[in-house]
Every structure is written in structure tokens, then in C-alpha cells.
């Protein structure tokens, strides 16, 4: 069974290689390499920043961004200061009226009358 399988595999390889030629394979590989080079050139052409016309200085851009941030913070701080300093009148309008009558005094009960234990403790303490 193993030898039969190996014989079938050898026949299949001969049949597959009958249509192939080493020169054809080299030509096909050269064509593939050439197409890959063309694709690489196209990719590089697309990735170049043509619309900008040149390189930018990262430090210069960072400094400009920082300056804009500081300017914005200064404007925000000035607006906040203006809001905090311009609070308007300090007199509230909805205050309750001051009572004119004397508050009623609560009826005072002697603690001894309410709690005999407390009366006993007070007598002991004195």
C-alpha cells in the first residue's frame, strides 16, 4: 500500500512538472518582482506629503501650540476674574422679618419632681 501511494505521488509530480519549465518559472518570478517594485514605487508616491510642499519643524510647531494654549488660558482667566469681581449687589431680597415680640419662656419644671433618682443623686452629691 505504501509503495503504491509513493508510485502514484511520483506519477502526479511528473504530470505536474511536465507543463513547467525552469526558464518559465524564472520569467514568472522576475515578473512578480517587477510588479512588486512598481507597487512599492506607487506606495511611496502616495505617501509623500506633496500638498504641504516641505517639512515642518516639530519644535516650532510645539512652541506655537504652547503659545496658543497660554493665550487661551489667559483669556479664560480674565473672563473668570471679570465674572468673580462683578457679582452685583450684596443685599439679599428675601430675608425674613425680625420678630418684635419677646419669645415666650418655656415652663420650667423642677427636675426633682420629674425624676426621683435624680433628686436622690443631687442630695447625695451636696
Q: Could you state, in chain order, the average pLDDT of each consecutive group of 10 residues for the chain (126 residues)?
A: 93 86 89 96 82 72 91 90 79 80 69 70 84
Q: How far apart are CA 36 and CA 42, in angstroms?
A: 10
Check residue 54 and give its pLDDT: 62
- 9 three-class SS: helix
Q: How far apart are CA 116 and CA 124, in angstroms?
A: 12
Q: How far apart are CA 7 and CA 74, in angstroms?
A: 87
Check residue 51 and give its pLDDT: 58
Cut 0.75: pTM above it? no
Q: How far apart are CA 40 and CA 46, in angstroms?
A: 10
Check residue 64 and give its pLDDT: 92
Residue labelled with grid coordinates 506655537: 64
Amino acid at each position: 500500500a505504501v509503495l503504491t501511494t509513493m508510485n502514484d505521488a511520483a506519477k502526479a509530480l511528473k504530470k505536474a512538472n511536465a507543463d513547467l519549465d525552469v526558464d518559465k518559472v524564472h520569467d514568472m518570478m522576475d515578473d512578480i518582482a517587477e510588479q512588486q517594485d512598481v507597487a512599492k514605487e506607487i506606495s511611496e508616491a502616495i505617501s509623500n506629503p506633496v500638498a504641504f510642499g516641505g517639512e515642518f519643524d516639530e519644535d516650532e510647531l510645539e512652541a506655537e501650540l504652547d503659545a496658543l494654549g497660554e493665550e487661551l488660558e489667559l483669556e479664560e482667566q480674565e473672563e473668570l476674574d471679570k465674572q468673580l469681581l462683578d457679582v452685583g449687589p450684596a443685599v439679599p431680597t428675601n430675608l425674613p422679618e425680625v420678630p418684635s415680640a419677646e419669645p415666650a419662656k418655656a415652663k420650667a419644671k423642677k427636675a426633682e419632681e420629674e425624676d426621683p433618682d435624680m433628686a436622690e443623686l443631687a442630695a447625695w452629691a451636696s
